[in-house]
Structure formats: C-alpha cells, structure tokens
C-alpha cells in the first residue's frame, strides 16, 4: 500500500473511532508504518469489521491478528471450477476395466 493509501485508512479510522482528541503522533506514526506493509482493500474491510466489534480505537496487535485471519480466510476460499472433459463411452470404460482386472489377476 502507498503512503497516501495508509493516510486514507488512518483518516477513516479516526472518523470511526473519534474520541474527542487525536491519537499521539508517535502512535499515528507506528500505525502508518504498520499499514504500509498491508494490502489496501483487505485493510479497509478489516477496519469496517473492527468498527462493528470495537467501540474504541483497536490496538495494532488486534488489528494485525484480525487482518491476518481475514487474509487467510480469503486465501482459503475455493472457487468452483467447471470440469470440462470428454468422457469415454460406457462400453469403452467396461472394456478398460476388464483389461485392468485381467492384468491384476495375472500379476498375482
């Protein structure tokens, strides 16, 4: 993620968890550095999910563990793939099965 995108996410977070005073500059700097190593879309989705769960600004460790779980969930999703094959006719399959059975019996 770029520097501007990290700033955008920090701005979003400050809007969601505004507490009357901004977080200290050192905290914002740590957050900014931490966010630049993440994927933008996943980080934004993570912020929105955490906003529903937490009434206050989350700790970096909470955010990171939530982000990691979200990315793993996304990677683990299996998308259905259509199998495009030409199957043999039934007679051909029966013939091949007979041949395989005979070869197995011969090898015993």
pLDDT at 97: 94
Buried b (16+ CB within 10 A) or exposed e, 25-44: eeeeeebeebbeebeeeebb
State the Cα–Cα distance between residues 58 and 50, nearest whole angstrom: 8
Q: What is the mean pLDDT of the chain?
A: 88
Compare 18 and 37 and report the one with higher pLDDT. Answer: 37
Q: Mind listing the pLDDT tens digit for each residue in 56-97? A: 888 899 999 999 998 988 888 777 777 777 888 899 999 999
Which domains occur in the chain, in start order?
3-76 (1.10.8)
């Amino acid at each position: 993620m770029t520097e501007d995108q990290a700033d955008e996410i920090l701005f979003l977070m400050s809007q969601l968890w505004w507490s009357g005073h901004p977080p200290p500059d050192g905290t914002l700097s740590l957050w900014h550095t931490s966010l630049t190593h993440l994927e933008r879309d996943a980080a934004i989705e993570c912020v929105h999910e955490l906003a529903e769960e937490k009434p206050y600004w989350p700790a970096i460790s909470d955010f990171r563990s939530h982000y990691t779980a979200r990315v793993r969930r996304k990677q683990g999703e299996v998308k259905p793939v259509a199998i495009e094959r030409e199957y043999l006719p039934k007679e051909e399959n029966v013939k091949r099965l007979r041949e395989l059975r005979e070869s197995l019996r011969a090898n015993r």
